[in-house]
Copies of this chain bind each other. A is one copy, B any other.
Amino acid sequence: MTVEQLAQGIRAQDRGTLARALTLVESQLPGHRQQARQLLKLLGSPAQPGQRIGVTGPPGAGKSTLIESLGLLALEKGERVGVLAIDPSSQKTGGSILGDKTRMEQLSRQPQAYVRPSPAAGALGGVARRTREAILLLEAAGYTSIWVETVGVGQSEVAVASLVDTVLLVALPGAGDDLQGMKRGLMETADVVWVNKADSERMPAARLTANQMSLALRLLPSRTAHWTAPVLQGSALERQGLDELWAKLRSHFAHLLADGGLQQMRHQQSLYWLSRGLEDRLLRNFLAQPEQAQAWHAAQARVAQGLSTPDEALDELLGG
C-alpha cells in the first residue's frame, strides 16, 4: 500500500487503513519512519480542531470505564470518538496492564468510535512521539473527540498534559490521606476533576473529597490561564453526573478556543517536544556507541556508591 493510498483510506474513514497507519507510526524502522513522515505531511491538519482530552488518575480510579461512558455520550452529541492509551513504562508491564484496562467493549463496537487496542508503551520520548502521531491520524480520519488514557505508572501524566488540550483527573472518594497515593503534580495538571464511584453509599465520602480537592486546587497554580478546575462527582458505571461532566469538558475547550489559547498551547507543546526530542535523540546517539554506554553505566555505579560526584563522573566521561 502506498503512502497515497494510506492517506486516501484514512480520509475515507476506512478502519482497516487507519489501523495500518497506526501500526506504521509505531514502527522505529527508518523506512517506516520516512513513510510515516510523508503520510502525516500529506494528511495535514483538520479544518476544525477537535478536542484532545487526556485522562489521568491513580490505578483503579475507573479511567477506562469513564472514557467508555463519556465516549458513548459524546457519540450521542454527534462527535466521532477516538481512544488511545499511553504507557511510558516497560513493554512487558505495558501489555499486561492493558489487557485489563482498555477493552471498552461497548464503545469499540460503535461505528463512529475507534479504540486503539494497544497502548503506546516504551520509553517516554518514543511513546510521546507515537501518541502525537496517532492523534494526528485519528483527526485526519475525522475523529473529533480524541481521548488519551494514561496507563503507565511512570511519567505518563506529565507527558499527557503536554499532548492534549484538556486534562481530566479521575479521583476516588476517600479522606485526605488516600489522595497521598496520587503522583506529584497530578492536581496541578488537571483542568477538570471528577470524583468517581460516588454512588449512594459513598456519596458523603465523595462530597468530602470533592470539597477538599476544590480547596487544594484553589491554592495551586492552574494549568490553563484564567481557568479554575471544577470538581464534579458521580459514577461512570451507573452513568450518573456524566452530562454535567461532559458540559465542563466542552466549556474548557470553548474557553481555550475563545481567547486563542488553543493554538498557543499547541505550539508551546510542540516546542516542548522539540526540545525534549533533541535531548532524547542526542542521548540515544551517545549511548548507541557500546564503549560509551559502558562508561556511562560505570559512571552511574560510581556515583550511586558515592565514589564520584556527578560532576567528576561527567568530566571523566566527556572531558572537563
Among A87-95, A238-246, A252-260, A280-288, the one that faces the other chain is A280-288
Q: Mark A289-320, 1 if CB is under 8 A from B, else 0.
A: 00000001001100110100111111101101
Q: Decide if A176 touches B219 in the complex (CB within 8 Å).
A: yes
Interface 9-residue window, one of A33-41, A113-121, A194-202:
A33-41
Q: A33-B320, A180-B222, A218-B177 are in contact. Are A277 and B311 (CB under 8 A)?
A: yes
Contact yes or no, B303 A271, CB < 8 A: yes
14 A-B pairs within 8 Å (CB atoms) are namely A41-B312, A133-B311, A180-B221, A182-B219, A182-B221, A183-B221, A184-B185, A185-B185, A187-B220, A270-B304, A271-B310, A273-B310, A274-B313, A279-B283
Among A8-16, A69-77, A103-111, A208-216, the stretch that binds chain B is: A208-216
A179 proximal to B (CB < 8 A): yes
Contact B318 A270 (CB under 8 A): no
Residues of chain B within 8 A of A315, CB atoms compared? 33, 37
Q: A270-B304, A271-B300, A306-B267 are in contact. Are A279 and B279 (CB under 8 A)?
A: yes
Question: Among residues 55 to 103 in chain A, which have CB atoms less than 8 Å away from a CB atom of chain B?
Answer: none
Contact A314–B274 (Cβ < 8 Å): yes
If A188-B185, A219-B216, A221-B180 touch, does A312 touch B40 (CB 8 Å cutoff)? yes
Cβ contact within 8 Å between A184 and B296: no
Question: Are A219's CB and B179's CB within 8 A?
Answer: yes
Judge whether A132 is part of the interface by a CB distance below 8 angstroms.
yes
Q: Is residue A248 within 8 Å, beta carbon to beta carbon, of the partner chain?
A: no
Nearest-neighbor residue (CB-CB) of A223 within chain B: B184
A222 to B45, CA, bound (A): 42
A299 lies within 8 A of B282 (CB): no
Cross-chain contact B216 with A304 (CB below 8 angstroms): no
What 3 pairs across the A-B complex have the smallest Cβ distances?
A274-B310, A216-B216, A273-B310
A207 within 8 A of B: no
For A213, list chain B residues within 8 Å (CB): 219
* Copies of the polypeptide in the assembly: 2
A303 engages B270 (CB within 8 Å):
yes
Asked if A283 and B282 make an inter-chain contact with CB atoms under 8 angstroms apart, the answer reads yes
In the complex, chain A residues 155-184 whose Cβ is within 8 Å of any chain B Cβ: 176-177, 179-180, 182-184
Inter-chain contacts of A218 with B (CB < 8 A): 176-177, 179-180, 212
Give bound CA distance, A296 to B281, whole Å: 13
A284 to chain B, nearest CB (A): 10
Task: Determine whether the beta carbon of A283 is less than 8 Å from that of B277.
Answer: no
Neighbouring B residues of A222 by C-beta, 8 Å: 180
Write out the residue numbers on chain B whose beta carbons fall within 8 Å of the beta carbon of A314. 274, 277-278, 281
Distance in angstroms between the alpha carbons of A148 and B129 in the assembled complex: 38
Query: Which chain B residues lie closer than 8 Å to A277 at the CB level?
Result: 310-311, 314
A308 CB, nearest partner CB in chain B, Å: 9
Closest to A188 in B: B184
Task: Assess the A279–B281 pair: CB atoms within 8 A.
Answer: no
Within 27-61 of A, Cβ neighbours of B (below 8 Å) are at: 30, 33-34, 37, 40-41, 45
